[in-house]
Amino acid sequence: MKIVVCMKQVPDTTEVKIDPVTNTLIRDGVPAIINPDDKCGIEAALEIKERVPGTTVTVVTMGIPAAESALREALAMGCDEAVLLTDRKLAGADTWATSCAVAGAVQKLGADLVICGRQAIDGDTAQVGVQIAIHMGIPVTTYVEKLVDVNEQSITVQRQYEDRYQTVRMRYPCLITAIGDLNKPRYMSVGGCWDAYAKEIKIMTYADIADVADESNMGLAGSPTYVATSTTKEAKGAGTVLKDLSPDEAVAAIVDKLAAMHII
């Protein structure tokens, strides 16, 4: 079977800058790492490859050419093939436009099982995985915390909720999104690192997905949401700060206040 893992390279620092004109993230020049949930997705794919003979794992990302380093890391972990979807036309995309483009790439690559991370640490939206599945018209299970059974026809997984879990079985093609509880991603192997630099990263541009992804849905222009303003957060007005009190004085100050507010 063929597994396609969708991953995102995320800035490994919180020092993020915003373009003052377009109000979108400036990603150029910021070092990229594999998003943690996506890394669990890669690990899950590699575990399935070990269990089900004849499985291949392709990792795909949409982004700037610098995302190549994250793809090489995925190859070094043991993925068979890496694809970079990159095009100016795709820049500035919100989750809707991103999912349209990635769904197009996955469709062109062909997949029995698609694996995404639940959410990325730079946006926390958890939207793109589900949206890819809807665009492709395939079953989806998010928040996967356990692989129960995987065979050549179907996958059975445990889906986490706040107060329960659900066991579901899906026939291929289908999509799952991985959470941190699913596994502990392996490190790159020495042989893997060697291979990773010998392998070619396959480049896809909009032209490669044009027949399955409408241009009007791509990039900033194809994004339904629009970032109107970004502001640096203002702290709320400061209250009273008391210092140089003895512990007893401090206790009295707090008790007086709690009593005045009828909390005690």
Partner 1 sequence: MSRDVYVFCEQRDGVIQNVSYELIGKARELAADLGQQVVGILAGSNIGELPAKLIARGADKVIVADKPILEHYSTKPYTDVVVQVVHEYQPEIVLFGASSIGRDLAPAVSASVHTGLTADCTGLAIGDLVRTVNNAKDKAKSDACIAALGQDVDVVDNSRVVKDRAGNEIPIVNVQYTYHKQLRMTRPAFGGNIIATIVCLQHRPQMATVRPGVMQALEADETRTGEVITLNCDPTNNLEVLETVKSAKASKDITESKILVSAGRGMGSAEKLCEVQALAEALEGDVSGSRAVVDAGWLEKDRQVGQTGKTVRPDLYVACGISGAIQHAAGMENSGYIIAINKEETAPIFDIADLGIVGDVHAILPKLADAINKYKANK
In eight-state DSSP terms, residue 53 is T
Q: What angle do CA 204, 209, 212 make, to 5 degrees?
A: 160
CB-nearer residue toward partner 1: 203 or 255:
255
Tell me the residue type at 169: R
At 105, list the tokens: 């790439």
| 213 neighbors 74 (Cβ within 8 angstroms) | no
C-beta closer to partner 1: residue 17 or 51: 17
* Nearer of residues 203 and 254 to partner 1, judged by Cβ: 254
Please answer whether residues 82 and 201 qualify as being in contact, where contact means their C-beta atoms are separated by less than 8 angstroms. Answer: yes
CA 172, CA 99: separation in Å to the nearest integer?
20
Q: What φ, ψ does residue 143 adopt, rounded to 5°?
A: 50, 45
The amino acid occupying position 196 is A
CB of 154 to partner 1, least distance (A): 9
Give the nearest distance from C-beta 222 to partner 1 in angstroms.
10
Question: What's the min distance (Å) between Cβ of 111 and partner 1?
Answer: 16
In the complex, minimum distance from the CB of residue 45 to partner 1, in angstroms, rounded to a whole number: 19
Is the Cβ of residue 1 or residue 75 nearer to partner 1 in the bound state? Answer: 1
Structure tokens at 168: 């579901």
Amino acid identity of residue 109, one-letter, is: L
Which residue, 190 or 242, is less far from partner 1 as judged by CB?
242
The residue among 198 and 238 lying less far from partner 1, judged by its C-beta, is: 238
Q: Give min distance, CB of 114 to partner 1, in A.
A: 14
Least CB distance from residue 238 to partner 1, whole Å?
Answer: 6
Nearer to partner 1, 53 or 239 (CB): 239
Q: Rounded to whole angstroms, how far apart are CA atoms 102 and 175?
A: 13
In 3D space, the residue among 185, 146, 190 whose CA is nearest the CA of residue 39 turns out to be 185
End-to-end CA distance of the chain: 64
Tokens at 34, concatenated: 């594999």
CB 37 within 8 A of CB 119: yes
CB of 142 to partner 1, least distance (A): 5
CA atoms within 13 A on the CB side of 20: 1
